[in-house]
Each structure stands twice: as C-alpha cells, then as structure tokens.
Structure 1
Amino acid sequence: MTAGDTTSATPAFDTVSIEVDAEHGIGWLFFDRPEKRNAMNPTLNREMILALEVLEADEAVRCVVLTGRGEAWSAGMDLKEYFRVVEAGPPHVEVRARRESAEWQWRRLIHFSKPTIAMVNGWCFGGAFTPLVCCDLAIAAEDATFGLSEVNWGIPPGGLVSRALAETIPARDSLWFIMTGEAFDGRRAAEMRLVNEAVPSDRLRERTVEVASKLAGMNTHVLRAAKVGFKKAQQMSWDEAEDYLYAKLDAATGHDPDQGKQQGMAQFLDDKTYRPGLGSYEKH
C-alpha cells in the first residue's frame, strides 16, 4: 500500500495476496503471479475462494478491488497447467479444477455481499474476462491490453467467457474479437461497456480509490439489495421482478441496523438537508 494507508494483518498465499486499507474501507485483492502475467492456475483458483472468504468476513472491508501485480491484470488460464497437467491427470482432477474456477470467478463474485471493482492495470486475456465481468464495476487503464486470442491457436474461448461477453458487450463487437483474435485497449473496452471507465494509467489507482471509497462510505445493506436486485431482475419478467424487488426493498430497509431509509427520508422530507442526486444522506 502507499504511504499513509492503514493496513491490517491478512493470511499469506502463494498466488494471490490481500491488503486491507482500513482507513478507506477497501480490501485489495491481487492476482499475484507476475512472472506468469497473473495467469490463473488451479492453486490460484483455490486461493481466490479463500481470499474472498477472508475479505467478506473482515468488517474493516466495505468494498473489494480486484487487480494484478506487475504489468498484467490476468493473462487468463495458465494453459500449460491446464492442458499439460490437469487434463493429463485422472478425471477427478479436471472436475475439481473446473468447479473451483467457477466457484470464485462467477459464483462468488456475482453474489458477493460487498461491492466489487475490477481495476484492470494491464493484460486481460481469455479466461480473465469472466471475473472481470462478474465484478460489479470495472475501471481500466487506457493502455491496458485486452484480447480473446484463443482462435489463433485453434480453440474457442474457454470456460464461461462467451457468457460473460454476452452479459456486457454487443453481439457484433463480441463476435469480432472472438473470431479475429485481435487485441484492443482500455479505451475500446470502455466504448463497448466492457468496463465503466478508462483512465490514464497514472490515474488508475487514484480513480479506483475514489470510486471504492464512495461505495465503502455508503449503506452496505442497501447497496447489496440494489445490486442483487438488478442482477436477479435481468432474468425475470416484469411481474416476477415486481414481486421480487418489493420483497428485497422490504428486507433491506426492515433489517438495516443503520436505519438508512429512515435517516435518508427524514433528511429529505423533514429536515430539507438532503437533495437526491446531489450526494448521499448523512449517516448518524
């Protein structure tokens, strides 16, 4: 962490690492195989599951940022380990590897109880698109390099990459990069809405901290209800969504120890101290 950051002790891992900035409520989760451009191998997948559990349980962490050590976010699957080690082993080894990669890359991230931000600091290729999309928000360096190069060596995109792309990118753009294998930069990623923003690399951390701090300062119960409600409603009819979202609203406001709805409404309707759209209500 930079000078002045407040950190707390966290477990040691071999392929990932955690830094907790308690002052700002941010948990930094790193792909930590810089010598392999942070490629995801079975060990990393197992450790990511454990690391997310640590961050979810840490009360000092109110927002999680997923990023990479060195010059890469993640180069995707570690092809050597998967195609030369995992697939050469007994069937249960491959089954476990697939299960553990899916467990954190989409199941945990999609349903994570705290806001998540992907901070794409460099290379993002292949299988790395899945956790990128499954983070709630994403900010990339303008010169970050993205690519779906699998077609160049004779295979389609692996895992759930195609499903992730369908969640975020228009079909024409998705098929262009899937079928040509061409790379693109952070600016293009933002144009296609694969990421929310692309900023100069020297401002990437600053901008990410700004957004993460804003989320960390908000009501966690309401944020969770808002993001889960949106994701669930995407798959529902209007009638189903009405029932579900009203139930989530009641649950979020009825079991909120911060009494966020009551505070916000009182400041807006009674005290006239809060104006929606121009900031957050003041938490007491």
Structure 2
Amino acid sequence: MAQVELFIEGRTARVHLNRPEARNALTFGMDVLLSQFWRQVDEDPEIWTVVLTAQGDEAFCIGADMSEARPAAPRLAVGGGLTGIGGPLVPLSKPLVAAAQGFCIGAGFELAMCADVIVAAENAQFGLPETRRGIIGECGVVHRAVRRLPHHVAMAMILTGERIDARAAERFGLVNQLVPLAGLSEAAMDWAARINKASPLANRAAKAAVARGLALPLEAALSSRFEEIERYAGSDDARERDAAIVQGRRPVWTGR
C-alpha cells in the first residue's frame, strides 16, 4: 500500500498520508508522491477542492524522517510545505483543507499551515521542535508560523520547541474548527462541500489575489489588478452568475 494515497470523491480530491507506524514521518518517496499529487489535482479541471488527511489517531505528521539518508535532490514537498528546500515553489491554486490530529510538528505542521482551512481533532498538538533538536536551515515552517500566528506566540514556539494544543491553536486563529477525533475526516470533507458551493474559478481567483496581495502594502493591493480575476470575468461561471441573478435561481457552476 502506498504511503501517500490519492482519492477522488466527486469534486474533491483527498490526499492521504498513510505511514501511521512512523507517525506519518515524511520520506523522500512520500515527498515525491506529494509533489506529483499536488500537480495532478491542480491541473484537473474536474477537481475543485483538495483535502489533506493522515492515517492513525496518534499523529497527522511528525515531520521529515530524520533517520533516512538525505538524497542529493532537493525535497519537493517538505521544508517549504508545498515548496521545497532550494527548489521551486509548488503552489496549489485550489482551496486546500487540512485535517490534523495528534502530533502535527515540524514539516508536518508546515504542511498543515499550507492549507486555507484547518480542521483539528481535540487531541491535536502543533509544534516546531527544530531549534530544540539543533536543526535549523532554510526551514519554511518558521516563516509560515510567524504569518499564521501572533508574533510572540510563534516566536515562543520557535525558540523553545514547545507545542501548543488544539484549543490554544483555535484561540490564536490557527485552526478553523475543533472536532472530536472520530469526526475529523467528516468535518474536513464538509468544509470541502461548503467551499464547492462557490464558483471554483472565483475561488481560485480569490486565492490568487490574496496570495499576491499579501506581498504588497495594502494601498498597492487595493489598487492592483489581478490576472486571475480578470480571466474569471470572461468565464462561463461568470455568465452563469449573471443568468442566475436575472432568473432568480441558484447558479450551477461548471468551473469553466
């Protein structure tokens, strides 16, 4: 059985980490599969959202497998979340929901932070153990953490290696929803279903505008024009929006 699996469930793709005996620690082979799957789902017009799940109750992912000999090639999916150490950015233009349980630390925490929505089980714990273990490099996890959490919370986690629990993560705005462990996958898929009620092209345009706008001062972001939004204006979905308004009905999106 593959250590990373891809399931297509209607308009939603589910990428599943399946190495519970090692707390879903990421090997180079898993890294390669993740990179392939991100590209595959991003290029498939029939897929509108992606959900990231992991096998086992104990851990979502404890990070990279440090016992594995490091290959000469740069990692593709960890060390930058969906990017790579020394490698090109591997963005995901479609909405991503992460379902985190148990230990979610190091590169696993980073992988979760790449999501647009995070659903967490009540037993989830988030942490950055790198400095406590004496490991620090071009680790994207610290750069993401200070953008996803209040500055002093992120810095305390970075400098001490101490974890925060699921309730603290929710309080700090890292997590969108806390659920019992047994309901985690269902809750994540429910978020995907809610997202899929919107135009998939409008969602992708909005996500692209947010990502680019965050790199700009607010004034510049407000005055910028975004290619994805302009492209959406000429789409079938935009025409369906207008027709639905005139006809007083709910739009039926096609993603085209």
Normalising by the smaller structure, the TM-score range is: 0.7 to 0.9
Residues of 2 paired with 1:250 and 1:135: CA distance? 25
Superposed counterparts of 1:129-278, under 5 Å: 129-156=109-136, 159-245=139-225, 247-257=227-237, 259-263=239-243, 265-266=245-246, 271=248
Q: Give SS of 1:56's match.
A: helix
Displacement after TM superposition at 1:205 (Å): 2.1
Displacement after TM superposition at 1:39 (Å): 0.8
Q: CA RMSD in A?
A: 2.5
Displacement after TM superposition at 1:230 (Å): 1.0
Displacement after TM superposition at 1:265 (Å): 4.4
Displacement after TM superposition at 1:14 (Å): 3.1
TM-score scaled by length of structure 2? 0.85
Displacement after TM superposition at 1:260 (Å): 4.2
- 2:16 maps to what in 1? 30
Displacement after TM superposition at 1:73 (Å): 1.0
- 1:17 maps to what in 2? 5
Percent sequence identity is 26
CA deviations on 1:74-126 (whole Å, 9 max, x unpaired) are: 11111111xxx11xxxxxx44x2345545762433xx3232110111221011
CA deviations on 1:29-77 (whole Å, 9 max, x unpaired) are: 0112111111112111111111223323444432110111112211111
8 Å CA contact 1:42–1:101 kept in 2: the answer is: no
CA deviations on 1:198-245 (whole Å, 9 max, x unpaired) are: 222222222212111111232111000011101111111345324434
Where is the helix percentage greater, Structure 1 or Structure 2?
A: 1
8 Å CA contact 1:151–1:181 kept in 2: the answer is: yes
CA 1:145–1:239 in structure 2 vs 1: closer, same or farther (change >3 Å)?
closer
Residues of 2 paired with 1:35 and 1:120: CA distance? 17
Q: Give SS of 1:149's match.
A: coil
Residues of 2 paired with 1:129 and 1:266: CA distance? 46
CA deviations on 1:144-174 (whole Å, 9 max, x unpaired) are: 1222223332334762111110211111101
- 1:282 maps to what in 2? 251
- 1:276 maps to what in 2? none
CA 1:155–1:224 in structure 2 vs 1: closer, same or farther (change >3 Å)?
same
Long gaps (5+) in structure 2: 84-88
Residues of 1 paired with 2:238 and 2:212: CA distance? 25
Residues of 2 paired with 1:100 and 1:205: CA distance? 22
Question: Quick one: which amino acid aligns to residue 216 of structure 2?
Answer: M
Residues of 1 paired with 2:251 and 2:48: CA distance? 17
Q: Give SS of 2:224's match.
A: helix
Q: Give SS of 2:16's match.
A: strand
Among 33, 38, 44, the alignment partner of 1:52 is 38
Residues of 2 paired with 1:238 and 1:253: CA distance? 23
8 Å CA contact 2:170–2:178 kept in 1: the answer is: yes
Residues of 1 paired with 2:2 and 2:102: CA distance? 21
Residues of 1 paired with 2:47 and 2:231: CA distance? 23
Residues of 1 paired with 2:40 and 2:178: CA distance? 29
Residues of 1 paired with 2:111 and 2:81: CA distance? 8
- 2:74 maps to what in 1? 97
- 1:78 maps to what in 2? 65
Are 2:107 and 1:127 equivalent residues in the alignment? yes
Which region of structure 1 is more displaced relative to structure 2, 241-250 or 157-166?
241-250
Computing the radius of gyration over CA atoms, which structure comes out larger, 1 or 2? 1
